[in-house]
Amino acid sequence: MTFTAAQIASLINGKIEGNADAGVHSFNKIEEAKEGDLAFLANPKYEDYLYTTQASIIIINESQEIKGQVAGTLIKVPDAYSAFAALLAQYQEMVSQQLTGIQQPSYIAASAKLGTNVYVGAFVYIGEHAEIGDNVKLHPHSFVGDKVHIGDHSVIHPSVNIYHHCQVGKHVTIHAGAVIGSDGFGFAPQQDGSYTKVPQIGNVVIEDNVEIGANSTIDRATIGSTIIRKGSKLDNLVHIAHNTEIGQHTVIAAQAGISGSTKIGKNVMIGGQAGIVGHITIADGARINAQSGVSKSIKQPNAAVTGSPAYDYTSTLRSQAISRKLPDFEKRIHQLELLLKQLMTEKV
């Protein structure tokens, strides 16, 4: 399918410089694009490719200064990266709409309710009284437990397991292998040294426009709900423990782990492999550096921390800078001691 520069500009509210009838049928990186490709330029590191690329259409920032001859048609927008992302999302939505119907073999309980234009892939299981919204895509081998609710336009990728009573909002994407609603890690220690399992009877609530990466796990609450608020994005291999609450538009990078009953504010950024202990709060806008170990609440909004135990980011960098100079300081102190000893000997 071919799209013209005029059609693309109308979708992203861009201004055309060049041939409005130029057409593209595929996407590519600006450094590798060829005729018929659509590319974009957002990172200044790739500016030189603007003048060598063979892309037929290039989306650029309206602030971009043109310093040479450009072969393709330009579409100028306030933010090229966001515009390109929006365009890809529209393209993906168009492609996914082609997936409809129920493949066999699959199991759908008689009491389950399915909306319109639903796709149910082969070997999907849908339990009793489950509710599947309009335009939902359930890819092969996914499991939807009893009384699960999945909102409109959500995409459940292959081999995702959503346990009973969990709720998934609208426009949610859950990638392959993720587990939603497995038991929280609750065990009561006994006098004989053994552990008795604490039943986990709560659920998981995932609000609208959330994305959950592959092989991530979100535990159900002991009682109540583990909650992922709207707009939050979880990378692959992220673990969220029972009764945790993730605030709106928070992003969590791969291999991070959050212990039980922790409350994360909105617009928080958590780096990869960070670990957060249970029963603490993280203020809105906090930034937690990769591999940090957070052992106490972060109460100041927009604070940045790093290290283990996590500490103020700027202060930690200063401490690290000083620690790197310690060998030199030791050498200078030794020299001063020798000089002082020599002066005292001469005085005597």
| C-alpha to C-alpha distance for 185 and 193, rounded to whole angstroms | 17
Tokens found for residue 153: 């336009």
Which residue in 242, 249, 279, 334 is the catalytic one? 242
| Residue 78: how many other CB atoms lie within 10 Å | 12
164 catalytic, yes or no? no
| Residue 118: how many other CB atoms lie within 10 Å | 21
For 188-214, give one letter per residue: b (16+ CB within 10 A) or e.
eeeeeeeeeeeebebbbbbbbbbbbbb
| C-alpha to C-alpha distance for 120 and 238, rounded to whole angstroms | 26
| C-alpha to C-alpha distance for 292 and 275, rounded to whole angstroms | 6
| C-alpha to C-alpha distance for 156 and 99, rounded to whole angstroms | 13
Is it true that the peptide bond before 105 is cis, omega within 30 degrees of 0? yes
Q: Which residues are catalytic?
A: 242
